Amino acid sequence: MGKRVGIEVSFAIAEAAKLANSDVIAAYPITPQTHIVERLAEMVADGELDAQFICVESEHSAMSACLGSCAVGARTFTATAGQGLELMHEVLYVAASSRLPIVMAVANRAISGPLNVWGDHSDVMATRDCGWIQIFAENGQEAFDLTLCSFRIAEDPKVLFPTMLHIDGFHLSHMVEPLYLLDQEEVNKFLPPFKYPFPLDPDHPITMGAFAPPVLYTEARKAQEEALQASRETIRACLEEFARLFGRRYSFVENYRSEDAEILLLTMGSFSETAMTAIDALRNQGIKVGLIHPRLWRPFPFEELRKGVSHAKILIVFDRCLSYGGPGGPVASEVKSALYGEKNRPEVVSFVGGLGGRDVTPEEFEQVVKRGIERVEKGIQKEYEMIGVRE
């Protein structure tokens, strides 16, 4: 089980990166992820972690430095948030297409303008198609555990894709929670040393990131997509191994009181735990409602999602990001696409809220569920509704 301690979630992620024996951390400070790399900088300066900490002038430079360190075979970690993730944007694609298993923690943050440093899912949704494996944590224990899993997944020779671990900015990153830390011996049993199979070496030259004209580009992209889709089996095996060793089990899609539910609420990130309180209250009111909360965002868990909602009549999707000029919430859009053509599919209702760090209370989640039921029963046709808008 490990030792139970009270620790800030950002520090727990830093502790996991230390226990993973990271070789290089290249990072630039940006709220609300700064505590992660500040703690790692202290560990390196104090001799707790034998690693190279590279202070760079921007997030674009941070990810560029990560490309180089990972390409020579160094276990590489970084962290960012919001505008920093977007400044990295073009380099994220290079990391994925070059098959460099960098691990990055993202403290999800709203995107300007107006300027806002608090959390929502605008940043992650803007980078959903960049080719990285992407995983959501809901609490501090998951953040610690899944950081270690991210290294194991990314570096597996059958995978070799960079991996993002998403935590909600402030709602999770700055919270102090009780959790179980593992010791070095336990981590060593789970996470083998990093041996990149194609390291840059002047004595054994290889080509990386070469020019691809139209005659080659399509096939390169197809190969990358097939490899990313195939990573599901390794991700599943990693999570099962973690459960076997440490007793904490994680699934691609989690469920809460959903077995007999006719109505399902779908959430992602730390708000899922708030939504559970609402589910309990609605159950006490006689409403057969449950919660489904995906953990794996890329590659998308099609099979698990379809199975998890097949018995429901109504699926209410709650997004923390607005797709401007589009269908409302990006998650709702992808869920609808995943269920299109399924014989036993629920009516999907979309809501957007919690933007820019605004809290969503259990009572508001209750209202979302009741409003979703009302929309279906009355045949109210809307692409989405935004909750909590002051008049």
Read off the pLDDT of residues 14-66 as tens digits, 9 standing for 90 and up. 999 999 999 999 999 999 999 999 999 999 999 999 999 999 999 999 999 99
CATH number 3.40.50.10320 is the correct assignment for the domain at 3-246:
no
pLDDT tens per residue across span 292-351: 999 999 999 999 999 999 999 999 999 999 999 999 899 999 999 999 999 989 999 999
- Distance (Å) of CA 86 to CA 258, 327, 377: 36, 22, 40
Where are the chain's structural domains?
3-246, 254-386
Q: What is the mean pLDDT of the chain?
A: 97
Going across the sheet that includes 52-55, the strands are 52-55, 24-27, 76-80, 103-108, 163-168, 133-136, 296-298
pLDDT tens per residue across span 66-104: 999 999 999 999 999 999 999 999 999 999 999 999 999
According to DSSP, the β-strands at 103-108 and 76-80 are parallel
Q: What angle do CA 17, 19, 24 make, to 5 degrees?
A: 45
3-246 matches 254-386 in fold: yes
Residue 2 has pLDDT above 80, yes or no: no
Is the model's pTM score more than 0.95?
yes
Give yes or no for a contact between 279 and 289, defined as CB atoms under 8 angstroms apart.
yes
Strand partners, 254: 293
Residue of 307, 324, 290 whose CA lies nearest to 126: 324
Residue of 260, 270, 321 whose CA lies nearest to 138: 270
As a CATH number, domain 254-386 is: 3.40.50.920
Residue 163 has pLDDT above 90, yes or no: yes
- How confident is residue 210, by pLDDT bands cut at 50, 70 and 90? confident
Residue 391 has pLDDT above 90, yes or no: no
For residues 80 and 34, give the distance between their C-alpha atoms in angstroms, rounded to a whole number: 8
Structure tokens at 47: 């001799």
The DSSP string of 331-385 is HHHHHHHHHTT-SS-PEEEEEE--GGG----HHHHHHHHHHHHHHHHHT---S-E
Residue 1 has pLDDT above 70, yes or no: no
Structure tokens at 247: 């007793």
Given this model, what pLDDT does residue 184 score?
97
